[in-house]
Amino acid sequence: MYQTCKQYVSLVRSTMKGKFCNPLHQPGAHKPHPVMLVYKNNLVAGNWYYGSTNQARYVALLYSMYQKHNLTSCPLSKPFVRPNQNICFDCPPNSIYNLGTQNCDSCQPGYILDISQGQGQCNPCYGEIFLINHRFICEPCTV
């Protein structure tokens, strides 16, 4: 904050003399840059998984972004952020957002995205596909 003890002592003396209402000038001090509004993923949305990252790394990334920018969550209608564009978007139906790659992962019709091992893998599904608790579930068809 203060570059030298001399600057600190000068500030204290000015304050003690009743000059604390005067604008303070600190030599070498730079004006702060305006804080830029940056969107972050809204993880209240249910269609995402960690992918090639994990919770600790993702939180560390958010913290480093928070240090530099004013963060705000994307709206639930478009809960994810396009990398390097600061634009919110949503994944197409039957796809899920991968926090690691920052892309939407999907499979061909008749396949289900299995994320049980942390990485997305397409497996055949001979039934109906549902998204429940961040996971695609394959349920047998009922007639």
Could you tell me the residue range of the domain that residue 97 belongs to? 31-140
Q: Which two tokens stand for residue 50?
A: 């960690």
pLDDT on residue 111: 83
> Alpha helix (H) ranges present in 28-105?
55-68
Is 70 inside any structural domain?
yes
Is 103 inside any structural domain?
yes
Is 131 inside any structural domain?
yes
What's the CA gap between 103 and 48, in Å, rounded?
Answer: 10
Predicted structure pTM score? 0.62
Least reliable range by pLDDT among 3-7, 37-41, 72-76, 80-84: 3-7
Is 3 inside any structural domain?
no
Is 127 inside any structural domain?
yes
What's the CA gap between 26 and 110, in Å, rounded?
Answer: 67
What distance lies between CA 123 and its chain's CA centroid?
Answer: 29
Mean pLDDT of the chain: 77
Model confidence pLDDT, tens digit, residues 24-71: 455 555 555 556 789 999 999 888 888 888 999 999 988 998 888 889
Structural domain count of the chain = 1
- Residue 94: pLDDT over 50: yes
Contact 96, 113 (CB under 8 A): yes
Is 12 inside any structural domain?
no
What's the sign of the alpha-carbon dihedral 68, 69, 74, 75?
A: positive
